[in-house]
C-alpha cells in the first residue's frame, strides 16, 4: 500500500512540476503534503486519484490550446496560390496532436479545400466529396493547385497511417480515383459523363 501511495504521489508531483514554475510547484506540493498528512491511507489514495485526474485534464487542455497566429504569419502568402493573407494550417491535426509546428500557410479557400479533401478521403464525408467535386470542376481553381493540395492531403494521410491512426489505403491513387474521378478530371477537367 505504501509503495502504491508513493507512486501515486510521484505521479501527481511530476504533473505539477511539469505545469508550474519551480517555486509555484513547490508551494502546491507542500500544500498536498500537509493535506495528505491528516488522512488515512485509503483516503490518501482517493485524494491522489482525484488530483491526478484533475492535473492530467489540465495538462491535456493546456497542450490542446491553440496558439493564435502572429501578425507575420497572417501576412505570409498562401503556399498553394500565393494569396497575400493566410491561415496557419496544421498538417498534424490539432485535435489529435495539439499545437504543433508542422504547418503550412494557406489562404482561407485553399485551407477549406484541404479540409474538404481530407474529410472526403478519410472520413467518407459525402458532403465534403460533393463540395470538392464542385470546386474541381468549377473551372475557377487551377488543376495544379488542386493537385498540390491533394498531394499535401495524401502526405498527411500516409503519415497518420504509418502511426496506425488511419487506413493507408485512403491516400492511394485508387481511393482518390474512386472518390474524385481523378483521372478524368486531370485529362479533361470535366466530370465523367458531362458533355461539352
Quick: pLDDT tens for 82-105. Answer: 998 888 887 777 666 666 677 888
Same domain for 51 and 13: yes
Please report the pLDDT score of residue 97 as a whole number.
63
Q: Does 43 reside within a domain? A: yes
pTM for the model stands at 0.62
Q: Which three cell numbers stand for residue 141?
A: 481553381
Q: Does 196 reside within a domain? A: no
**Residue 100 lies in domain:** 71-188
Last residue of a domain, one of 30, 47, 64: 64
Same domain for 132 and 103: yes
Same domain for 118 and 27: no
Please report the pLDDT score of residue 72 as a whole number.
83
Same domain for 150 and 169: yes
CB-based contacts of 195, cutoff 8 Å, min separation 6: none
The Cα–Cα gap between 136 and 107 comes to 17
Same domain for 93 and 56: no
Number of domain units in the chain: 2
Phi/psi of residue 69, nearest 5 degrees: -70, 145
Quick: pLDDT tens for 30-46. Answer: 999 999 998 988 899 99
Quick: pLDDT tens for 44-65. Answer: 999 999 999 999 888 877 766 6
Same domain for 100 and 175: yes
Please report the pLDDT score of residue 95 as a whole number.
63
Can you give the chain as a three-state secondary structure string?
CHHHHHHHHHHHHHHHHHHCCHHHHHHHHHHHHHHHHCCCHHHHHHHHHHHHHHHHHHHHHHHHCCCCCCHHHHHCCCCCCCCCCCEEEECCCHHHHCCCCCEEEECHHHHHHHHHHHHHHHCCCHHHHHHHHHHHHCCCCCHHHHHHHHHHHHHHHHHHHHCCCCCHHHHCHHHHHHHHCHHHHHHHCCCCCCCC
The Cα–Cα gap between 83 and 147 comes to 17
Q: Does 27 reside within a domain? A: yes
Amino acid at each position: 500500500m505504501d509503495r502504491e501511495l508513493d507512486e501515486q504521489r510521484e505521479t501527481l508531483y511530476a504533473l505539477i512540476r511539469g505545469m508550474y514554475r519551480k517555486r509555484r510547484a513547490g508551494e502546491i506540493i507542500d500544500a498536498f503534503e500537509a493535506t495528505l498528512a491528516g488522512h488515512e491511507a485509503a483516503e490518501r489514495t482517493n485524494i491522489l486519484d482525484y488530483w491526478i485526474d484533475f492535473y492530467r485534464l489540465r495538462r491535456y487542455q493546456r497542450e490542446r490550446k491553440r496558439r493564435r497566429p502572429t501578425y507575420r504569419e497572417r501576412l505570409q502568402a498562401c503556399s498553394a496560390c500565393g494569396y497575400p493573407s493566410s491561415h496557419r494550417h496544421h498538417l498534424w491535426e490539432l485535435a489529435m496532436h495539439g499545437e504543433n509546428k508542422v504547418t503550412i500557410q494557406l489562404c482561407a479557400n485553399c485551407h477549406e479545400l484541404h479540409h474538404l479533401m481530407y474529410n472526403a478521403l478519410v472520413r467518407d464525408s459525402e458532403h465534403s466529396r460533393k463540395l470538392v467535386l464542385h470546386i474541381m470542376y468549377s473551372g475557377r481553381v487551377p488543376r495544379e493547385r488542386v493537385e498540390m493540395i491533394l498531394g499535401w492531403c495524401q502526405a498527411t494521410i500516409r503519415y497518420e497511417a504509418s502511426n496506425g491512426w488511419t487506413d493507408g489505403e485512403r491516400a492511394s491513387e485508387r481511393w482518390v480515383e474512386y472518390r474524385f474521378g481523378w483521372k478524368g478530371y486531370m485529362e479533361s477537367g470535366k466530370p465523367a459523363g458531362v458533355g461539352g
